[in-house]
Structure 1
């Protein structure tokens, strides 16, 4: 590619933030990254150089945003060998890949240009055999070999150019808005086609590597069930997905099953479950100790020695920046820490401008379990906010509840949560340990409930056990069957 063409190409793909937005689909060198692949081509094209440059630039950002690297030599070795098999069976066996395990409990995998592949330990925990993991990795490899991220970046830029041009040409704001939505739908449809193509190509690669081609549909079903477990919503409403970059889960399962049938019938191809589960044994499950733990409706941070509990009906999610919660009625909660000098009164901090619509007459000071606190109300754009700022020695924490329908139940939930905030004793903090995956061999045939009773750290142990082991209905656990348990680290 000539220099002028390369410059034009770069302008197409270096849109602000575009590639990070497009990466989600969701090397094992030393220090958690492995290079896998064949011999690099003797001649490197300008496009390939640009791809590697993009991947290298965005790689540290991905690691930071997903809680860092997860170090586990057993998993790294297993993953390295599996990717090597897939590369050899892929359309480009000479392409090198760099595979990274991210220290995140989320269920995600994605790729960046240049052969950068990422998989979270949350996804590794959900998969039940090598064929399911291979389906995910081969899907992401297909995105790389098909250069989907770059194509989407170009399509996104073209859509934005068209929208801007039409906005200047069309005087009717309603018509301009309609055109913008049409462009978004077109772009989303373009992305959905790419996802289905990556599924199809990934299934073919996995089959050529000797693995079960039906694993893709099986794991898509597991991911859909797990997402419903976390959110309470099923991904099967086409009206809710017309602007989504991914097809609905039922649509993808159907397409994946159809693609697998091109190669064989069911029960053909290896699953290699035993080796996979043995590599998984002892892996950290759920939240990392550095970010605290969610246990049912409670959040506990042993290092900071703090804890609080939400009322019934809320779902908690721990992220790297904040603890979030949402109720079915749409009420939301955010909890985080903030740096405030001990010399600054909490009232001064509360009125320093970070709260939009603050009602200054609502500010009041009080004690919460012996800790200094200030409470207030804010109203903005149809939302009502209840805010608490709490200080424990040199640390300051914030609660923000938000609702569009304030009522007595909302006020009760807010008060109950605020009053539950407490400082842990040293012994209480030590009693909370991380959760890990334990692989056991079932000593006898028994209902799933028998083994689910051994699960720890969840307020829905049976449901989580069934999801992690892909056990449905009245299916019994067989004698000598390997199963996953979640237990507290000893």
Structure 2
């Protein structure tokens, strides 16, 4: 959780929309996506300024200090460009210091890859598959085409509503355009996948690498959701389902040749990423031994039993494996003279039950509690003031179940942490080790992760349950 304060957040999981985001769409064959030639030209080629670039990088935690990894990414990009349809196009890759698995491109040739994505890959060809996909977005002018469609749709609905004085039809057209834009984006992703596989093979890389990475992405998402399948998004999802993308990328690779063609450059890749920072940074909050500690804020709390946490830049989100309970922890802006009870009310959209309102102290700190009962969820809320900062804690239980007991215990665990304890926190990193035997448990036990060490080891190394290791072969683990 970043140090910046959030005014109000809902309990829905925050997700950044990018090319590796997991969404589900209709299954179909990728086809070329083009704005009709007769469409009015309302945008041009977007060239972000250096200031825009710096703002974007800052929003992802800054640029990662891993020169060997950055050098490899740029070398791979150059190789892909030489083999592609636009060898005259220039690109620059920026490695972002973010644990999320993400990659995206700007129309001006700037490519962005997070260290979380690099850590998930198992060889150079998998990273090349991601970069080939992003390059395809640029060469196919997807961003410009989407902007054209967005602005044209907005223009049509506004003309109908304002000029033709038909607001109902204007609103209907606006709503229809949202679904059209979502479908348009999904088709763009599939088109970029197909083009990326083709470029991957032309550059001499394993064309099946893109499907392998997408499979790893899908397993990562399932792991975050407690081992279940990904939730079905709404019809406005801008990305096809990862499973669909895997099937189509595999089909595209098979049209090129059988598995085993092309290089994966695994040994060099693992050597380059050895020591790469992994997961959240202590400055943004980490989970250690059942506690969430945030060195930037100087606070910690105990993770409630059964909850898996996701640390975003604005809040800590949590959910149980069955999805029946959720939590949120964030920092809220204190207004001059505003009491904690008023702050809870001001940052909550639904009504509060007076029976659950209470102003008190928790471990010597000012606190306010509140209760909200919705149609499908029961919410317990609290606001606490520690060292001049105000924190909000929310726990929700599905149905009529009241989470008051575990909620009170969670709130009571929030405390300031001595500076020396925070200073002792070390970031986790990837370590490349050689297997000494076929079992996976020994290496999994060395993983410094919040939970499910074996599952995380398997996903990180692209291994299925029951897999055996090859003695002498290199594998990734997470250590301090």
Q: Report the CA distance between 1:24 and its aligned residue.
A: 2.2
Cα separation, partners in 2 of 1:345 and 1:236, compared to 1, 3 Å: closer
Q: Report the CA distance between 1:369 and its aligned residue.
A: 2.9
Partner of 1:205: 199
Of residues 395, 412, 417, the one that matches 2:410 is 417
My pick for the range that moved more, 104-113 or 344-353, is: 344-353
Contact 1:331 1:403 in 2 (8 A): yes
1:142 aligns with 2:165: no
The alignment partner of 1:377 has SS state of: strand
Contact 1:131 1:270 in 2 (8 A): yes
The alignment partner of 2:256 has SS state of: coil
Residues 61-101 of structure 1: CA deviation (Å, up to 9, x unaligned): 32132122111111112112111111211211121112111
Partner of 1:473: 465
Q: Report the CA distance between 1:137 and its aligned residue.
A: 0.3
Q: Report the CA distance between 1:402 and its aligned residue.
A: 4.3
1:394 aligns with 2:395: no
Of residues 289, 299, 316, the one that matches 2:282 is 289
Q: Report the CA distance between 1:371 and its aligned residue.
A: 2.8
1:132 aligns with 2:126: yes
The alignment partner of 2:65 has SS state of: coil
The alignment partner of 1:194 has SS state of: helix
The alignment partner of 1:333 has SS state of: strand
Distance 2:330 2:234 in 1: 31
1:447 aligns with 2:439: yes
Partner of 1:84: 78
Contact 1:52 1:114 in 2 (8 A): yes
1:306 aligns with 2:337: no
1:19-418 paired onto structure 2 within 5 Å: 24-26=18-20, 50-51=44-45, 53-54=47-48, 56=50, 58-164=52-158, 182-232=176-226, 240=233, 242-295=235-288, 298-327=291-320, 328-329=322-323, 331-340=325-334, 344=337, 346-347=339-340, 350=343, 353-356=346-349, 357-358=351-352, 362-378=356-372, 384-402=378-396, 405-408=399-402, 410-418=403-411
Distance 1:79 1:389 in 2: 45
Residues 168-204 of structure 1: CA deviation (Å, up to 9, x unaligned): 889896x987765544333222222211111111111
Contact 2:284 2:295 in 1 (8 A): no
Q: Report the CA distance between 1:398 and its aligned residue.
A: 1.8
Contact 1:384 1:403 in 2 (8 A): yes
Residues 385-432 of structure 1: CA deviation (Å, up to 9, x unaligned): 432222222333221334563423x22232121122122234433443
Contact 1:385 1:401 in 2 (8 A): yes
Query: Which ranges of structure 1 fall in alignment gaps of 5 or more residues?
Result: 1-20, 27-46
Aligned length: 442
Q: Report the CA distance between 1:120 and its aligned residue.
A: 0.6
Contact 2:275 2:429 in 1 (8 A): yes
User: What RMSD, in angstroms, separates the aligned Cα atoms of the two structures?
Assistant: 3.2
Q: Report the CA distance between 1:210 and its aligned residue.
A: 1.1
Distance 2:344 2:301 in 1: 25
Contact 2:458 2:465 in 1 (8 A): no
Q: Report the CA distance between 1:370 and its aligned residue.
A: 3.4
Cα separation, partners in 2 of 1:423 and 1:248, compared to 1, 3 Å: same
Contact 2:376 2:400 in 1 (8 A): no
Q: Report the CA distance between 1:241 and its aligned residue.
A: 5.7
Distance 2:431 2:338 in 1: 48
Q: Report the CA distance between 1:146 and its aligned residue.
A: 0.6
- The structure showing larger relative contact order (alpha-carbon pairs under 8 Å, at least 6 residues apart) is 2
Contact 1:224 1:234 in 2 (8 A): no
Distance 1:456 1:269 in 2: 34
Partner of 1:18: none
User: TM-score scaled by structure 2?
Assistant: 0.82
Query: Which ranges of structure 2 fall in alignment gaps of 5 or more residues?
Result: 1-14, 21-40
Higher helix share: 1
User: TM-score scaled by structure 1?
Assistant: 0.81
